[in-house]
Amino acid sequence: MLKIKKLYIFMLQTFLPQFLMTFFICLFIVMMQFLWKYIDDLVGKGLSIDVVAELFFYAALTLVPLALPLAILLASLMTFGNLGEHVELTALKSSGISLLKVMAPLMVLISGISVGAFFFQDKVLPESQVKMWTLLFSMRQKSPTLDIPEGTVYTQIPGFNLYVKHKDKENDMLYNLLIYDVSGGSGSPRIVAADSGHLSFTDDKRHLVLNLYQGNWYEDMRANGSMGMGGNLYRREAFHDKEIVILYDNNFTRMDDDAMRQQYVGKNITQLKQTIDSVRQHLDSIGNSIAREMQAAPVVGVPTRHLVVRDNATQSFELTPEVAMPAPLNVDSLLAALTPTERSDLYQQALMRVQNTKQDYMFKGYNVQDDNFTIRRHQIEMHKKFTLSLACLIFFLIGAPLGAIVRKGGLGTPIVISVVMYLIYYIIDHTGYKLARDGRWPVAEGIWLSSAVLLPLGIFLTKKAIDDSAVFNPDAYMNFLRRITGVQQVRKLSMKELVMNEVRPEEAVEKITSLQEFCKDFNNRYQEPQSYLDYWRYGYDKALLRNLSVKVEEVVDYLSNSREQMVINKTMDYPIVRQLLLYHPTNYPQVGTAIAALFPIGLPGYWMGKRMQKCLKADVAKMMTVSDQLIAIFKGEYTREMEYNSLVN
């Protein structure tokens, strides 16, 4: 028990510093992304440091759901990768401590973090999002700081375009000014040209004061409606100094938080449920109202239902009794009796009624769509408060076993794996979010899609890590591909410096002869190519092929101890017996019969299997030839002619 407690303390001391480091690194990265996205709303506004710092603080709280799962994935990868790289994980397993027991304290820690993440999503995140978006929208509405450039037209003052040829930065004087007053419209602007000028703000910073010196004022009086002034249509005024006051609010005005609190981002689970219920109730009332209108609407101008009021309170629409007609009404004869003008007017009236009805129901449909969209957005926000907690657990189940399997610590390999896994998670999660938001999928399916995909992956990796399976062993995958494609392997042997079991010629000849007899029995059993139906029902006997492979490997293992280079070289000529799926396609004759009946599948499979069986027979024939040559070498009867024949074959 004492050893286990020390292990738990050791794992927590190893994981926590790396988790805190990776969390702040990930949070810094997503904060830089936030800054890059909204940099245009912040630069050039003259905002104070405390306002910008407050925005960054609330933005950091808002971005915690993005940084937390990635930090857990990266920290768990680094922790178990370091343990595996420094053979500490192997030492723990050799002492009888399983991987699950090593992961147990961190599982408890991550579970606590997941519970805290849920309460953070429900309590802290709505308030931080309200504050952040309120600040951001307030910053967007703030007027930019005046920084008039030289030689270009400055258009940031509402209703005015200002051109300055030269600026004196020491005394804030502007020279050679040209001002276009387009506040009354750009058709006939007022133009002011001045030799110099000076810009300043009023004390309340709500007005801009422009002091001009030595200039002229030009104005088109027709723009002011002065057409009754005879020929005096234009105005020109020369001035020594003039003061122009322009409305220009340079203060930072913070918006009220109440408007943002009504949005889905500013509500907790209780408020989201209340909003969903109220909108659904409103949507049901709209649906009932539309249904009553459609029931009461006349068909081809004939009312089908009438309103019945009982007890001065209960209202209902009842079917109107059909009017008995002595004979069927011929509508075509009624239309034919009208004049062409009357018939055209009738068609136009009918078309207008149809269009009006269509537009009316389309407008009502838009209201229904808006309500459905509001419900979906609130449902998405409610489900996301739970998905973050599960994502923390999933990323730990992926990161910890991956680190134990890869056994690479540091920041290199873990960062690459973390980025790839997080990109996969983000793509799946964003795809599900868009499908749920647009109403193509149910909200629950879209938001939980990423968890449903990655949770089985985490369980699979954890099981493989516990069983010490070589998930990332390339040889295992290459062998599987060879079984599928039939690619031949090359046998490689070399002289051993130390031989424990000497090769005796008599025993070697006996083993080789036994292998030859087994090869002859195989050839006798499969002399003729298998028919189409026999191939799919039976194929080659898997047990026979397995025994043949064992026989060959026994001979090769024994002869690899030889001290003669010729024996080693000749032993390498033994082909490797592969256990291909095409030798024996199925273990059940009934399944093989069903596949054989499907000719588009059966015929290509039979053609490839027949080709692989032919190659196997060629390998068996080569085994017998190599066996003859080895027997001749041990008996001292190996000749140059036999060497030549082996090279030719």
Q: CA 427: distance to chain centroid?
A: 1
599 φ, ψ (degrees, to nearest 5): -60, -35
From CA 41, how far away is CA 35, in angstroms rounded? 10
Contacts of 574 (CB under 8 A, 6+ apart): 491, 552, 555, 556, 622, 623, 626
From CA 525, how far away is CA 502, in angstroms rounded? 35
Is the pLDDT assigned to residue 496 strictly greater than 60? yes
Task: Name the residue ranges covered by the structural domains of the chain.
Answer: 2-141+381-466, 153-247, 478-648
Q: What is the pLDDT of residue 19?
A: 92
CB 574 within 8 A of CB 556: yes
CB 18 within 8 A of CB 78: yes
Neighbouring C-alpha atoms within 13 Å toward the C-beta of 261: 6
Q: What is the pLDDT of residue 464?
A: 82
Per-residue pLDDT, averaged over 222-230, amounts to: 50
From CA 300, how far away is CA 305, in angstroms rounded? 13
Whole-prediction pTM = 0.61
Is the pLDDT assigned to residue 314 strictly greater than 60? no
From CA 408, how far away is CA 400, in angstroms rounded? 12
Contacts of 210 (CB under 8 A, 6+ apart): 179, 197, 198, 199, 243, 244, 245, 246
From CA 71, how far away is CA 30, in angstroms rounded? 12
pLDDT category at 250 given cuts 50, 70, 90 is: low
Q: How far is CA 637 from each of CA 507, 555, 562, 628, rounded to the nearest angstrom?
A: 17, 20, 18, 10
Higher pLDDT, 16 or 207: 16
* 316-356 pLDDT tens trace: 666 666 667 677 777 778 778 888 888 888 889 888 888 88
Could you write out the DSSP letters of every residue in 31-52?
Answer: HHHHHHHSGGGTTTS---HHHH
* 25-58 pLDDT tens trace: 999 998 998 888 887 777 666 677 888 888 889 8
Q: What is the pLDDT of residue 228?
A: 47
From CA 60, how far away is CA 39, in angstroms rounded? 15
Q: What is the pLDDT of residue 533?
A: 82
* 79-136 pLDDT tens trace: 888 888 888 888 888 778 888 888 889 999 999 999 999 999 988 988 888 888 888 8
From CA 409, how far away is CA 167, in angstroms rounded? 59
Higher pLDDT, 421 or 602: 421
The mean pLDDT value of the chain amounts to: 80
Higher pLDDT, 267 or 311: 267
